[in-house]
Amino acid sequence: MEQSSSSVAKTMGDHRFWNTQPVPQYDEQVNEVGAIEPSVPVEQVSKDPPPLPKEFEWCEVDMTDEAQVKELYQLLTFNYVEDDDAQFRFDYSAAFLKWALQPPKWRKSWHVGVRVASNKKLVAFISGIPADMRTYNVTQPLTEINFLCVHKKLRSKRLAPVLIREITRRTHLEGLFQAVYTSGSVLPKPVGTCRYYHRSLNPKKLVECNFSRIPQKWTLARMIKHYKVPDQTAVSGLREMEEKDVPQVRELLNTYLNRFDMAPVFETDDDVKHWILPHKDVVWSYVVENPETKKITDMFSFYSLPSSVIGNPKHSILNAAYLFYYAVQVPSELKEKQGEEAKFLKKRLNELFKDALVMAKKEGFDVVNALDLMDNALVVEDLKFGPGDGYLNYYLYNWKCPEVVRNKVGLVML
């Protein structure tokens, strides 16, 4: 499923809020990397949150309290991203939300909610998590903003800008003045835009859910045969990632991500342990180990984000895997030869991702989704991924840099 694209045609007239914020404007050509506005001393940051309409109050959502995690799960499940036809809705599990919102150095004060004052019902949310990100040659700590959600019945209350102001104030109090976020909507001004691609693993179910259609002049049987994946993996030395692999995976991943112009930096082993090490029913990760040297030469991962299927008589859940981080050790003699390097990567990634499809099928996934970022465009066609009609725009707050083309985006946001 993709983020709803009905708002992609928004006009500048809808951007009253963004026109007041430190973000590049549509017609602005950016040729340098750096802050738009200078950081201010923390003592000059307001100690009070912006006012809410009188029937609402601010709160923090405590991700260590199962009851509050359930409240957040319910808010997101019924009010977060839907596709244009309201047939699919992201279905975040409690385990997924804890993984997404509690990385190393997470802060409870950055899990910001709005409740109805009278009955304490949670009706809006926004989150920030700390991250280290490199844009071109500059690496810095910033905040990843995610899960901005307002209850459907309150969309006219203009709560979203107030939520953004409040998470901004709270990150400023911690001395962080830059942020990164994504949206299916076009706002001022994307630093990069990527397209969704989908690889069917269970064509019959996807057709029954109206996620896919049988191509003209095809039968369902032909479609099933076309998308069949092998029963067994083929890459020698492939195994599930274990905790002992963390230091090697961190080095391999950071080296690989250096290829891109906008990418995270995994500063500590704890970052890799949290984000990449397998978490039951949330994230799956595999490494390729050279049997002689015991060196990790490749790794790939995917995470689970199912969608509720709305109003379908046969199916209630679509099990979707999303391609996450991966890395390949590129032989040093190929690094200076662009054509040779691309040829090597195309072959190796085809082998690795073919096995990723096998593992995803074994784990019961119906579809694998990916964006055309990193080196994915080299292999999506060969592996029978089809282009979707959804796009994901990347944005930076109080930070400017030249536009990043999609195959130079190395940041995967949940």
CA separation for the pair 351, 174 (Å, rounded) = 44
CA separation for the pair 369, 367 (Å, rounded) = 6
The pair of structure tokens assigned to 413 is 């946001």
Beta bridge mates, 309: 88
The pair of structure tokens assigned to 311 is 């109003």
Helix (H) or strand (E) holding 139: strand 138-150
CA separation for the pair 265, 255 (Å, rounded) = 10
What is the secondary structure of 370-394 as a DSSP string?
EES-TTGGGTTTTTT-EEEEEEEEE
Type of residue numbered 71: E
- Phi, psi dihedral angles at 88 (to 5 degrees): -135, 145
Judge whether 266 and 275 are in contact, CB under 8 Å: yes
CA separation for the pair 277, 272 (Å, rounded) = 7
Judge whether 370 and 323 are in contact, CB under 8 Å: yes
Judge whether 186 and 8 are in contact, CB under 8 Å: yes
Beta bridge mates, 97: none
What is the secondary structure of 108-131 as a DSSP string?
GGGEEEEEETTT--EEEEEEEEEE
Catalytic residue among 163, 238, 352, 414: 414
CA separation for the pair 150, 146 (Å, rounded) = 13
Does 383 qualify as catalytic in the annotation?
Answer: no
Residues in CB range of 273: below 8 A, 6 or more apart: 243, 246
CA angle 15, 16, 19 (to 5 degrees): 80
194 burial (CB, 10 Å; 0-12 / 13-18 / 19+) is buried
**CA dist 336 to 330, 339, 341, Å?**
11, 9, 8
Q: Using the structure block, give the residue that is written with the tokens 């250096």.
A: 258
Helix (H) or strand (E) holding 322: strand 320-328
Catalytic residues: 414
